Amino acid sequence: MIRNWGASAATAIRGSSAPVTRTLIVLCCLVFLIGPASGLHPADGSGEELLAAQRAYFRRWGVIPADLFEGSPGAVLTPATALFVHGSWVHLLGNMLFLHVFGAMAEARMGRVRFALCYAGCGYLALLGYAAANADSERSLVGASGAISAVLGAFLFLFPRARVTSLLPFLFFLPVRLPAWVVLPFWAALQWAAAGRAADGPGVAYLAHLVGFGLGFGCAWVCCGRATTVKSASAPAPAPEGENQP
């Protein structure tokens, strides 16, 4: 849940001005449903046969760092195709929840074209950055996490005072409403700590999350920095206008 301020944010919360965000969610869901990772298609078999079909699917459409840096022409496209491929229902639903919650408001502030370019460009570079750090890995890397991390970074720059309801384990998962400038840097710090402990090879690509987060923040600064600064300097302290409940 997010509480934020401003006419554009309120419109985005009502879901009437986020066509790029909605389209990305629909595309990711459709790609997952028609692929073997969903486990819905009898033709993919079950057990070991299904696992083999999934591995082949991820190898075709995901990023394989060793292939990417061996100069394979087709491999150059895989950081783009991997953004729409997810490994499981939990992987898909978790990413789409974050995109739904944070994407609409970022899109409303940045504009559709700039938001789409930020999402795709930062997502591509996040996967590329992870692949560069694991250049010898033969394992497939899939998912929109790098791009969605970029959305979080952009959101932090654009709406630092937005209040985000978080569930904190050390408070017995009680909902706590905190500003984005507290929640999102804390999330990034967790990714940094996890990346330092991560074993070699993909699994959870924490480094891609960090790269995407930093790129998204920088992209929002380049696209909207001056306008945001002028607006913040000239406007009085705002009052709450709306909520978004995932």
Selection from 148, 23, 126, 32 nearest residue 79 by Cα:
126
Q: Hey, which residues does 163 pair with through a beta bridge?
A: 3, 179
Residue 41 a catalytic site member: no
Cα-Cα-Cα-Cα torsion 138, 143, 144, 150, nearest 10 degrees, comes to -40
What residues contact residue 188 under an 8 Å CB cut-off, 6+ apart?
A: 209, 210, 213
Q: Of 41, 209, 232, 234, which one is the catalytic site residue?
A: 209
User: How far is it, in rounded angstroms, from Cα 191 to Cα 40?
Assistant: 32
Q: Of 137, 140, 145, 149, which one is the catalytic site residue?
A: 145
Q: How many CA atoms lie within 13 A of 234 on its CB side?
A: 6
Residue 209 a catalytic site member: yes
Cβ(2)–Cβ(244) under 8 Å? yes
Tokens representing 245 are 């409940």
Q: So which residues are the catalytic ones?
A: 145, 209
